[in-house]
Amino acid sequence: MTETGKRQFRLRSQDWFDNLDHADMAALYLERFTNYGLTLEELREGRPIIGISQSGSDLAPCNRIHVDLVQRVKDGVRDAGGIPIEFPMHPIFENCRRPTAALDRNLAFLGLVEILHGYPLDGVVLTTGCDKTTPAALMAAATTNLPAIILSGGPMLDGWSNGERVGSGTVLWRVRKEYAAGKITRETLIERVAASTPSAGHCNPMGTALTMNSLAEALGMSLTGSATIPAPYKERPQCAYQTGKRAVGLVEEQLKPLDVMTRAAFLNAIRVNAAIGGSPNAYPHLMAIARHAGVELTAADWNEFGYHIPLLANVQPAGEYLGEHFHRAGGIPAIMKDLAGAGHLDEDAKTVTGKSVGGNLQGLRPTDRQVIYAYDTPVRQKAGFKVLTGNLFDSAIMKTSAISDHFRKTYLSDPGKTDVFEARAVVFDGSEDYRSRINDPALNIDERCILVMRGAGPVAWPGSAEVVNMQPPDALIKNGVDSLPTLGDGRQSGTSGSPSILNASPEAAEGGGLAWLKDGDVIRIDLNTGHCDALVDEEEIARRKQDLAYAVRGSETPWQAMYRASVTQLGDGAVIKGADEFRNVTARLPRHNH
């Protein structure tokens, strides 16, 4: 539909391009869009203007495929009667951005909001891929409430090394231990990690990238089955075309993000996250998206709706396979179909397809039960995050799907203490301190220690770094002890299989209990009660707090200083304070600029 006479509403873009009350302003807005080939006729005839946020570039290789895919998006937009307008998104590259790409999520969100609010756009295709691009896009979609749809670039093909399936990121955490044990050379380490990235696309295990794009689909914000299509597959540009077409449909139907991202949708996403063994970064990201959508989502919701969901996806790091096999086995629709069959999915939730979740799942089923296990015979039981509390923090999470049989036997199976363990704390202030001291014999680190990382939260780092999944001292690794319990106020890569206690909030720099914790303190973790406490008496804690002055590094850029002054804690999504009060901002047209 392109004729305004058949439409029951006026397009937002018409206030720029067809403003009868301000002909001079319309002329100003129109003229520069014609200098690259658009005509006055098409701009003024009431066609929906569809923005396409370009997240791909040479600086963002995980998303670089969108440089090519965008042409198919544009084809779809045009064939549906719209006009595509591509614009750049602030680049986010998890592997390379220092001090952490977490700084970029909120920055990219702000940029997207300003673009979607301030320019003549009626709808938007938000291209995603690498970890933080997806939550940034969804946060902006919720804030602006402009008709929006997510398009992932898709995961890489499976990686292989010496006949072994190797996942990007996941292989690094393993081979660095082999390197520390002296089993492989530096060049072998680099070669094996490089072998895990055989094609274009984002990480191929169930890391943060694949998790967040899967959850975008679970939320109903992308086309059914789109999250897991590998980047090189022909179905990926086909999906791009269909996404472009659907973006125009969303405008005509006035189906908006806040119609889709309801509480029911977020609870569906929590369940799906557990079933796929999703990245622990899903917790702060989903919390942030919910804040901007105005949806009440609490730590208790993760325990109630996610913790008891079994692991169905046999995908690294919690399983055996990678994204390509997961897609061929049915991907997210297969997972959701199994959850629905078990009564753990709201099938009435709306989606950007125009159908309900249940409508999208009709006729779908898993095709490979070695990759996607049945609900009644899962990879393992209770795969959701366990949200913990105690005297060290108000909230933290533990990714229970990453608890290996060895870890459970060593730490969670003491007679009379199932799912309870106590360990001596060895405390590090930042990753630099860890790297310089982890092999110090004076620390006397053994198998009954817990490594604690503080100074890694949103304020201290700044941005919150993925440094909690610390490996043991080289001496222990050489003796066969390749993992220890870890705890911290930072995060860890979703590709890591470490069952760390993460996102401790408040962080040490903001008065959290990790600030007063000392080497040698005994920490008790009880997964039955959801408690994590340092066994230090209240009087001693009070004395330590009196002398507390936790110092952090100075800011190195203007944005770092602004970020620190504005960010909330990980338990609340690490959002910009007050930004979640702005919602549906495109409902009101911005003022003219001249």
CATH number at 389 reads: 3.50.30.80
* Residue after which a domain boundary falls, among 303, 329, 361: 361
Confidence (pLDDT) at 366: 86
Residue stretches of the chain with pLDDT short of 50: 1-4
Confidence (pLDDT) at 2: 46
Is 408 found in the same domain as 294? Answer: no
User: CA-to-CA distance for 212 and 130, rounded, in angstroms?
Assistant: 9
With CA atoms as reference, report the closest residue to 116 among 133, 132, 137.
137
Is 251 found in the same domain as 109? Answer: yes
Within 8 A by CB and 6+ apart from 124, the residues are 50, 51, 52, 53, 116, 141, 146, 147, 148, 149, 247
Is 434 found in the same domain as 303? Answer: no
Residue 254 domain flag = yes
User: CA-to-CA distance for 101 and 559, rounded, in angstroms?
Assistant: 13
Is 410 found in the same domain as 347? Answer: no
**Per-residue pLDDT tens over the stretch 148-166:** 999 999 999 999 998 999 9
Is 228 found in the same domain as 83? Answer: yes
Q: Quick one: CA dihedral 324, 326, 328, 333, positive or negative?
A: negative
Is 408 found in the same domain as 293? Answer: no
Confidence (pLDDT) at 255: 99
Confidence (pLDDT) at 254: 98
- By DSSP bridging, strand 393-399 and strand 522-526 are unpaired
Question: What CATH number has the domain bearing residue 14?
Answer: 3.40.50.2300
Confidence (pLDDT) at 344: 99
* Torsions phi, psi for 350 (to 5 deg): -75, 160
What number of CA atoms fall less than 13 Å from residue 293's CA on the CB side?
30
Confidence (pLDDT) at 16: 96
User: CA-to-CA distance for 490 and 464, rounded, in angstroms?
Assistant: 5
Residue 572 domain flag = no
Tell me the residue range of the domain where 315 lies: 4-155+206-361
Q: What's the predicted TM-score (pTM) here?
A: 0.97
Where do the H-state alpha helices sit in 297-342?
299-305, 323-328, 331-341
Is 390 found in the same domain as 265? Answer: no
Residue 72 domain flag = yes
Contact (Cβ atoms closer than 8 angstroms) between residue 576 and residue 512 = no
Confidence (pLDDT) at 6: 80
Angle at 263 between CA 261 and CA 267, to 5 degrees: 100
Helix (H) or strand (E) holding 75: helix 66-79
Is 256 found in the same domain as 123? Answer: yes
CA distance readout (Å), 538 to 30, 425, 543: 68, 18, 9
Confidence (pLDDT) at 401: 86
Contact (Cβ atoms closer than 8 angstroms) between residue 463 and residue 557 = no
- C-alpha dihedral (102, 103, 105, 106), degrees to nearest 10: 140
Burial of 551 (0-12, 13-18, 19+ CB in 10 A): exposed
User: CA-to-CA distance for 411 and 208, rounded, in angstroms?
Assistant: 27
What number of CA atoms fall less than 13 Å from residue 503's CA on the CB side?
30
Residue 366 domain flag = no
Residue 368 domain flag = no
Residue 235 domain flag = yes
Contact (Cβ atoms closer than 8 angstroms) between residue 322 and residue 158 = yes
Confidence (pLDDT) at 128: 99
User: CA-to-CA distance for 468 and 499, rounded, in angstroms?
Assistant: 10
Confidence (pLDDT) at 127: 99
Q: Distance of alpha carbon 304 from its chain centroid, rounded?
A: 21
* Residue after which a domain boundary falls, among 361, 396, 423: 361
Ramachandran area for residue 463 (φ above 0: left; ψ -120 to 50: alpha; else beta): left
Residue 487 domain flag = yes
Is 420 found in the same domain as 275? Answer: no
Q: Residue type at 263?
A: R
Confidence (pLDDT) at 231: 99
Detail the DSSP E strand segments found in 4-72: 49-54
Is 417 found in the same domain as 353? Answer: no
User: CA-to-CA distance for 240 and 245, rounded, in angstroms?
Assistant: 9
Q: Give the residues across from 427 on adjacent strands.
A: 452
Is 290 found in the same domain as 251? Answer: yes
Confidence (pLDDT) at 4: 47
Total domains present in the chain: 2
Confidence (pLDDT) at 495: 82
Confidence (pLDDT) at 533: 98
* Residue after which a domain boundary falls, among 302, 328, 361: 361
Residue 590 domain flag = no
Is 395 found in the same domain as 539? Answer: yes
User: CA-to-CA distance for 34 and 44, rounded, in angstroms?
Assistant: 12
